[in-house]
């Protein structure tokens, strides 16, 4: 189940997202007892990210974050109004890994502020997409936060700013650019989500994808003996997939599956970029 962002106090979330660090670390509530706890918004958000990395969004709670910090839940509420606002903060903060969103982040030979030209834009967009997909697979809980309502934080925004800068630099007309940015973003997010969910399925069930498909395929032949006649193109697609080498162990088959997923992502991205090139 996805988590909808932006459900907390809008003014509090936006202020924390965009505040300078010194201002952000002032408590949002006054402490009635004793001195101010030795905490910060940054420390709380970092702990929340660590909890989500380990246990997904299902394991995220103010109590879990507080326990990781060796504090009480009430100490957290001094800095962050509640879990809803914390989700906004951690979602945006983790995107800081991807950098400030300059074309030079994806093409090192460019100086800061320089736009790509020629075919540079294609290599830069491929770099952007590959880095974003790898980021999602490092932090699969991010994919559990719905993008129906974006957080509108600076680090999240930098991801789209980077792509828009690359495409504007490629000479794309403004009219289709918004749709192209959206299509590329959703392609990367969707591809990463499928890969992340496949990894989670194998881990949670103890059954590898290969074992699952082998068992279901055998049953499918029993219950639908005419499957090949009814769905010939589906059978053809399956037959043309890269076959697994005989005798491959679990580790080898997992690596083979990862390579296939990577190849599929690259092919689909290439087709999308062919379309972008045609729109220039």
* In the chain, % of residues over pLDDT 70: 82
> Token pair of 205, please?
């069930």
CB proximity list for 128: less than 8 A, separation 6 or greater: 106, 162, 163, 166
Q: CA of 216: how far to CAs of 149, 196, 223, 253, 273, in Å?
A: 37, 21, 10, 18, 35
Nearest to 99 by CA among 154, 24, 44, 144: 154
Q: CA of 187: how far to CAs of 175, 183, 237, 270, 279, in Å?
A: 20, 6, 21, 11, 18
- Summarised one tens digit per residue, pLDDT across range 30-56 is 444 555 457 999 999 999 999 999 999
CA distance 136 to 215: 30
- Summarised one tens digit per residue, pLDDT across range 171-227 is 888 888 999 999 999 999 999 999 999 889 988 999 988 899 899 999 999 999 999
Confidence band for 260, pLDDT divided at 50, 70 and 90? confident
CA distance 218 to 231: 16
- Summarised one tens digit per residue, pLDDT across range 152-176 is 999 999 999 999 999 988 888 888 8
Query: Whole-prediction pTM value?
Result: 0.86
Reply yes or no on whether the pLDDT at 13 is more than 80. Answer: yes
- Identify whether the C-beta of residue 137 lies closer than 8 Å to the C-beta of residue 192: yes
- Summarised one tens digit per residue, pLDDT across range 96-124 is 999 886 666 666 656 555 555 556 899 99
- Summarised one tens digit per residue, pLDDT across range 56-76 is 999 999 999 999 999 999 999
Dihedral in degrees, nearest 10, Cα atoms 141, 24, 37, 142? 0
Q: What is the CB neighbour count within 10 angstroms for residue 125?
A: 23
CA distance 195 to 208: 13
């Amino acid at each position: 189940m996805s988590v909808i962002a932006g459900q907390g106090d809008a003014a509090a979330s936006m202020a924390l997202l965009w505040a300078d660090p010194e201002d952000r670390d002032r408590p949002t509530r006054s402490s009635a007892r004793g001195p101010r706890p030795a905490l910060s918004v940054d420390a709380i958000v970092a702990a929340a990210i660590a909890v989500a990395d380990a246990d997904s969004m299902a394991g995220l709670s103010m109590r879990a974050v507080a326990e990781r910090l060796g504090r009480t839940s009430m100490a957290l509420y001094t800095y962050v109004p509640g879990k809803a606002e914390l989700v906004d903060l951690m979602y945006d903060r983790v995107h800081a890994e991807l950098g400030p969103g300059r074309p030079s982040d994806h093409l090192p030979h460019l100086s800061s502020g320089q736009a790509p030209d020629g075919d540079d834009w294609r290599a830069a967009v491929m770099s952007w997409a590959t880095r974003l997909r790898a980021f999602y697979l490092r932090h699969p809980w991010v994919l559990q936060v719905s993008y129906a309502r974006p957080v509108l934080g600076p680090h999240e925004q930098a991801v789209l700013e980077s792509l828009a800068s690359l495409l504007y630099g490629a000479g794309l007309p403004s009219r289709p650019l918004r749709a192209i940015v959206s299509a590329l973003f959703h392609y990367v997010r969707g591809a990463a989500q499928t890969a992340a969910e496949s990894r989670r399925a194998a881990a949670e069930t103890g059954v590898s994808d290969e074992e699952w498909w082998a068992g279901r395929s055998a049953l499918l032949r029993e219950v639908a003996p005419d499957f090949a006649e009814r769905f010939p193109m589906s059978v053809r697609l399956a037959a043309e997939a890269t076959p697994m080498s005989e005798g491959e162990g679990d580790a080898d088959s997992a690596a083979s599956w990862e390579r296939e997923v990577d190849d599929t992502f690259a092919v689909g991205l290439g087709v999308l970029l062919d379309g972008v090139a045609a729109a220039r």
